[in-house]
Structure 1
């Protein structure tokens, strides 16, 4: 049995955390003795399976301490010798060390076991993180030094896992890392849980009505800049003015909630768009929809899009890392250029074409068979045990 520690900043309701929970639930406990180390306690920690040990670095999140402590924390993990990092923070020795979220990679410094870093980002669109030689004199000395430390930490890993082939290519293009170290493992999904929640009898908000007379669209995610939900409002306004009837449900919460709510009210779109807010079970809405829309400016490997296909719901998505890999060579999804206009034309296309809607539905159901939790977890286990 391999003793393994997984480092993650915190547990919350995001896609990365859902993937981690699926892994923790499905990894073979006869092969791995698993500890999860988090920065601090959180109300979401009870989602972690009971048989998994949990350790904490601090009494509260470093963001909540004063500015001096935050600076000490930020830079000490990069510059303090690795042996001290291990002695102060991790303390015990492990066979496998995993940084599941990239900021935790510095805590692998000084570790003696196998070191693995998960990359849940698409570096093809992250312009501010690139090779030092490309940025040259535009970077300050401190910024260059920090970036050097980051590259050193990445090179220190035995394996780096990207979540899509397009994400891997973007990563290798940005960092001078041995490409033999960088591999792809697709995120596993808890298919049994997703389908169970989609089919349960939880009451959907009474004001939300699913009419068979119109097309029902759904979008799920954090209401933040990168998800670009404002695109859906401008598209809806344009289609409304052209006489189309349809309905949008947007599930999620975040910093742009009030901005989106105001835009919906100002444009008299309340009969077209419903902001549902956060719901622990978005699947009950997704499963009743005709299409799920992903309007994101960037994704590494969209959890929501994958979950939609698992439920047999076709998708219209902007071009992001991993989208083509999720759909495979099927018509389960339409991928548009990453802008509002092309997304508008794709949505308009399915509104106009009943045969296309039927075809995409059938192919989404067929594509759902590709996703297999056990197979995907086994592929990850094999990599960890190499």
Structure 2
């Protein structure tokens, strides 16, 4: 028999499938296990049952924009079976997809979620804060996938002082849950961790289903260390997301949520030092004011200082009293001298010094010539001595009669 090429056999299978009456127009019922829509609107997904998986492609936008949220639901997909020779694959080229009812895995998952939720494993009040500056982060993921590469890169870039401890685990398949449980128990036996990150990159509903394992979810909930669950992409949700202390949409995001950038820490330290300096300055100013108040109070109540102050006051008073006394006596001395001069001016003896005499008659002072008549005896008092005379004649009018005035 003449041999045929690989392309020829592939194209022949493609023609057979296209011409088959049953396969050219068929509706297939299965559980939606993955769904991806490209920017051009092409949809790639899979449907499955208990023993088989069928790849599907729809070269138009799905009528239900939220179809990805129905992963795990049972769907009816209409279209034709076609071959893809380049990949030696057959697939269902779909033109319609309709929700039918929840699939077996989806129903199992919902029942498990309600059970664990009723036990309080997902309670928000049990969530613990993630340390801002972790000393060591434990990673539970595959050591060969893209997730570990992204995680290590992000953590080392943001927080180079943080230690990383990887426990290589199976993150897909039958043994995955037990592998991750062993990793969690190992980390919980240590005393030097800050945070644990458990997760993997994206995958189908079946690929990620191991993160819905009941025993694994319980182990996550009882962990002594805060746990970040980072499974798949942002639209993927598993039960470990609810049991963990924090859910990250992607492994890369988990690395960012688990650490603070070293530059942010430096800024925080600078701000803290500035705030402390400002606070201490305020405290010192307050203490300085209080110290001044105590000092003033001490000055007011110190006996020695009070005596010195009273002594100064007494000295000042004595000085002012001396000044007042001097001023008083000076004033009185001046007044006395003035009074003396006035007294001297009115002293008869002072007049006698000028040559005048005091004329007395019968013990009385004669001040008017009309009091005298011829023959009266009078006495005259001079500054020095006395004399007696007899009046010969008295004149009413002033007559000099040869007597010169003094």
Normalised TM-score (structure 1): 0.34
Normalised TM-score (structure 2): 0.32
Q: Larger % of strand: which?
A: 2
Larger RCO, structure (CA 8 Å, separation 6 or more): 1
Larger Rg belongs to: 2
